[in-house]
Amino acid sequence: MANLTSEELQQVEILSDPVKWAYVYLGWEARWYQEEILREQSLRIVLRMGRRTGKTTTVMVLALYKCFTNSSFEVLIVTPYESQIREIDSIITRFINSCPELEASIKSKTKNPFRVEFKNGSVIKGFTAGTKAGNQGASIRGQRADLIILDEIDYMDEGEIVAVTSVALEAPNRIGIIAMSTPSGRRAFFYKICTDPKSPYKQFHYPSSVNPEWTPEADAEFRLLHSEIDYQHEVLAEFGEEASGVFNKEDVDIAANTVYYAYAPLTPSQEKWVKENNIEVVRLGPYTANYKPPKAIRTMGVDWDKVQATPQIVIVEHNQQLDKLQVVYHEDIPKSDLTLDYAVQRIIALNAVYDPSYIYVDRGFGEYQVETLHAYGLKHPETGLHTKVKGWYFGQHIDVMDPVTKRLESKPLKHFMVNQTALYFERQKLIISLFDEVLYRQIINYSVVRVSQSGQPIYTSKDEHALDALMLCILGFVMEFPELSPLYSVSPARNFSVISVKSHPTFHNPVEVEVDRPRWQRRSSMRATSWGHRSPARRRPLRRTLI
């Protein structure tokens, strides 16, 4: 070292520090918390971080640094979803393209399978853990690694995690592991290594607020867009309470006990309960074309299905007195050879009675029915059906404004509907009838049965058609009447106060399935511009010999 020039000493200093190396070679300036992560020497590291903190970018910088400054160094990256591998590929590609020295050091690079080979023998390999594919990480076994990176580990199965981490058993005192995720609420491996005092993992816990670009306005907007449990997980990076279903039962009970009303005859057991508890029940209807309900803003939701279930029709109106949405009608179309045709006739009849502003229908099983209603509306323009009826595919996407980047992001429609409905319950802006036991049961039992390869929750597909119709009604209000919505969605909205009520017993014992609370999933894209001047795409590297 004594024989080295000052310039050479400076280069040694750069190459021995990942923070300085990233600044000089990549033009990427680490924030204070990213510096802590990059300079940590522990072999076992766990990152519990909120969204927009740059955890994936930080660790990819470390992976590039390790491979650039060491020969024959192998990095094994494992994610639960293919979309994350694509995002990682995008991050690494942008860094490589921003640095001539790094680009010159690359021998080869492929996307599928994801693999970056360096001329010095180092390599970065990317795999999916086989989530929901049933192989329990079999493709990972036999892989060599000096550093294992598990991205979004809280969405991997225990068997997959064991298969991946067992690679480190080859040389536990040499092979490092970095596990990182935004909490999902599960009490699984990620939770254990973060909370167990005996955990060998050095934990770094950072909420989204550590990002200087996370403003109070962005925080407030995220709260409006997401439920409280989502906020705990994705912004505060806290585990929160372990959820047992999509909709919080306490919130649903409040919605069912705000007003005691019924739009269908009570069952004998319900009549008995009402009498024993001296409850006054408000009866809605029955309404007809000659005896119509009071004027109100309404939407109708229709879910078609004559295979597993029968078509369901739900009508929701805005209760001006309480400033809440209220379910005012629910009909189960009986099964027959002409079930769908009869459902069309019922929609026409109910439209004449309730005069909903919009009718949102499931187009997946009702393409013909939608066209039939449109044709009827054109023939009878006084019904307005040619403009009221709008069909939606549950598998389609819609554009939603991101509160931080202010960019439109494509979101799965079904998950958007579920999230909006959960927010209405959580903020006590929705009323349901305690006496509609079918709808209540479906709401309480609605759950996530699995997560897709793209990272999207897959919901219950049985005994949920009335709920689907309700969520279509909610979607109608969110899309068409944002001023009545307690949150921001596709269009700006307002925030209203809530009314607290006492919860009362329900008429049945719902089956609660222990699952994760769904949350928004990030799309696979490189958000270079979201990091401002720190983006390698926007900042030219300094000269290599200068700090």
Question: 365-375, pLDDT tens digit by residue?
Answer: 767 889 999 99
Name the percent of the chain lying above pLDDT 70.
82
- Which H or E element spans position 276? helix 268-276
Mean pLDDT (whole number) for 297-325: 89
| Distance separating alpha carbons of residues 426 and 363, to the nearest angstrom | 28
Q: Which residue has the higher pLDDT, 372 or 516?
A: 372
Helix-strand-coil split of the chain, %, nearest 5: 40, 20, 45
Q: Is the pTM of this model over 0.75?
A: no
State the burial class of residue 2 (Cβ atoms within 10 Å of its Cβ: 0-12, 13-18, 19+).
Answer: exposed
- C-alpha R_g of the chain: 28
Q: Residue 502: its pLDDT value, please?
A: 35
| Distance separating alpha carbons of residues 476 and 496, to the nearest angstrom | 18
Domains and CATH numbers, the chain: 6-242 (3.40.50.300), 249-484 (3.30.420.240)
3-state DSSP assignment of residue 167: helix
For 55-109, the pLDDT digits (tens) are 999 999 999 999 999 999 999 999 988 888 999 999 999 999 999 999 999 999 9
Q: How confident is the model at residue 337 (pLDDT cuts 50, 70, 90)?
A: low
Q: Which residue has the higher pLDDT, 271 or 457?
A: 271
Residues contacting residue 406 through CB under 8 Å, at least 6 positions apart: none
HEC secondary structure over 200-241: CCEEEEECHHHCCCCCHHHHHHHHHHCCHHHHHHHCCCCCCC
Using the CB atoms, write b or e for 463-495: b if 16+ within 10 Å.
ebbbbbbbbbbbbbbbbbbbebbbbbbbeebee
Q: Which long-range contacts (CB under 8 A, 24 or more apart) does 21-24 make?
A: 21/65, 21/68, 21/69, 22/61, 22/65, 23/542, 23/547, 24/541, 24/542, 24/543, 24/544, 24/546, 24/547
Q: Residue 308: its pLDDT value, please?
A: 62
Do residues 116 and 88 make contact, with C-beta atoms less than 8 angstroms apart?
A: no
Which of 111-120, 404-413, 538-547 shows the lowest mean pLDDT across its residues?
538-547
Q: Taking 90 as the threshold, does the pLDDT of residue 430 lie above it?
A: yes
Backbone angles phi, psi at 366, to 5 degrees: -135, 30
Q: Taking 80 as the threshold, does the pLDDT of residue 306 lie above it?
A: no
For 101-130, the pLDDT digits (tens) are 999 999 999 998 999 999 999 999 999 885
